[in-house]
Structure 1
Amino acid sequence: MIVLFCGPPASGKSEIVKRLVKELEDWKLIVSDEFKRKTYRHMFIETERWAGRVRYLILDGTFYKKEWRDRIREIAEVRREEVFTVYVTCSLETCLERNRLRKEQIEEKAVSIIYNQIEKPEKANLSLDTDILSVDEAVRMLTSAICPGRVS
């Protein structure tokens, strides 16, 4: 299963992912922040490399363009993998505040631009509003969705 996290910068995706992987076995995490240039090209290459080799392939990035999420779906289809899309969101104000608290900040203008240009997934398997949900609540919802039958 490919678990594709998308949403604006500083919405809480990486915090949720960090907790999620503690709950899973047989996973690989690919984080867009690891790539400085041609970010999504590298994400696609790594997805092609790892899809089908682990039970949970977790992709952590904004994926704010639909075409990028569609490309992941194409790779998944070829590899006969399911894609579980998690849309993480919150208010722009929350994103900007969390960004200010980060060790490695993104320019505020960039956060605002991506926030306003995000092409929201029409068919997210799970939407998490981190203005409302704690990280623990989000992880509980997510693990019950991707690990059916598991007691958390």
Structure 2
Amino acid sequence: MLVIFCGIPSIGKTLIARRLAIELEGNDGSTFVVGSDDIRHLIPAHEESFEPEREAFIREITLHLIDFLLKKGKNVISDDTNYYNAMRRDLIEIAKRNKVEYAIVYVHAPIDYALKWNKERGEPIPPEVIQRIHDRFDIPGKKYKWDQPIAYIDTSKIQLEDAVKNIHQKIRDMKSRKKVKVKSSYYNSGKSEEIDRITRSIVGKIMAESGDKSLARRVSFLRKSFVREAVEKNLSPEEVESEFIKRIKSVVNSENL
């Protein structure tokens, strides 16, 4: 699966992402934490002198690496600010192409908290960069339903271990709901096919016996709505047959009035 972290710099996303990766590793398989900072470390000169024109290329490499790992069946945590809707959408598209689940985690904190923490660490990130991202940040879920986070983590109010437990539980809950939904979908599909077969057989007999095309059209229309109703009510095959025949008789009787 792909877990998409988003939030302004210097609020503890990386600490949470790495701790969460350990939890997922033990329960859900190999998990990689991938962020653009990891790519920047591969370019020492870029670390010494920030060059904005390289950022698009670094982003491209980051996305390629995430795509590669998902193709190999690995879990990936995107440890980046991902502060635009479009950035998160790009990641979601990668997850969809690889047919894996995805989850957005919104890690947030007041701007003053981020600036203070950054200063205590010797300001590895220029304060103006943190402020600029904060000002431009697209809050996930505010505009699009597909952008809705599964967890909101305020690092100024929650401890590291509690944050990790919160996110991990949300992921488990999400997977459980999807399993139930898939199971229900398969069940309803099979049930619908059986009901469809029974009712078609009954309509076929009526057409063969009566030869009344007008009646056949009415019964055929009735059958379609009845199939949906029978699936919703979870009728047994015997109940489907008796109830559908009863409905047909009602139509026939109204025709003869």
TM-score (norm 1): 0.90
User: Is 1:7 the counterpart of 2:26 in the alignment?
Assistant: no
Please name the residue that 1:130 is paired with.
155
Q: 1:42 & 1:73 partners in 2: Cα distance?
A: 16
Map Cα deviations across residues 45-104 of structure 1 (whole Å, 9 max, x no partner). 112111142442111000011111101111111111111100100000000011112256
What is the alpha-carbon distance in structure 2 between the residues aligned to residue 108 and residue 91 of structure 1?
A: 14
Q: Is the 8 A contact 1:52 1:81 kept in 2?
A: no
Given the alignment of the two structures, is residue 62 of structure 1 paired with residue 66 of structure 2, yes or no? no
**Residues 1-150 of structure 1: pairs in structure 2 closer than 5 A:** 1-25=1-25, 26-36=30-40, 37=54, 38-102=57-121, 105-122=124-141, 123-148=148-173
Quick check: which has more Rg, 1 or 2? 2
**Paired residues of 2:6 and 2:106 also in contact (CA < 8 A):** yes
CA RMSD of aligned residues (A): 1.7
Q: Which amino acid aligns with 2:39?
A: F
> Which has a greater percent of helix?
2
Letter matched to residue 137 of structure 2: I
Please, which runs of 5 or more residues in structure 2 have no aligned partner? 41-53, 142-147, 176-257
Q: Report if aligned partners of 1:27, 1:54 keep a CA contact under 8 Å in 2.
A: no
Name the SS of the counterpart of 2:11 in structure 1. coil
Q: What percentage of residue pairs aligned between the two structures are identical?
A: 28
By relative contact order (CA 8 Å, sep 6+), the higher-ranking structure is 1
Question: 2-side partners of 1:110 and 1:17: how far apart?
Answer: 21
* Contact in 2 for aligned 1:8/1:64 (Cα 8 Å): yes
SS of the equivalent of 1:24 reads: helix
1:17 match: secondary structure: helix
Q: Sort the Cα spacing of 1:48 and 1:55 in 2 relative to 1 into closer, same or farther, 3 A.
A: closer
Task: Report the structure, 1 or 2, having the larger strand content.
Answer: 1
Moved more, 39-48 or 108-117: 39-48
Per the TM alignment, residue 28 of structure 1 is displaced from its structure 2 partner at its CA by 1.4
Counterpart secondary structure, 1:51: helix
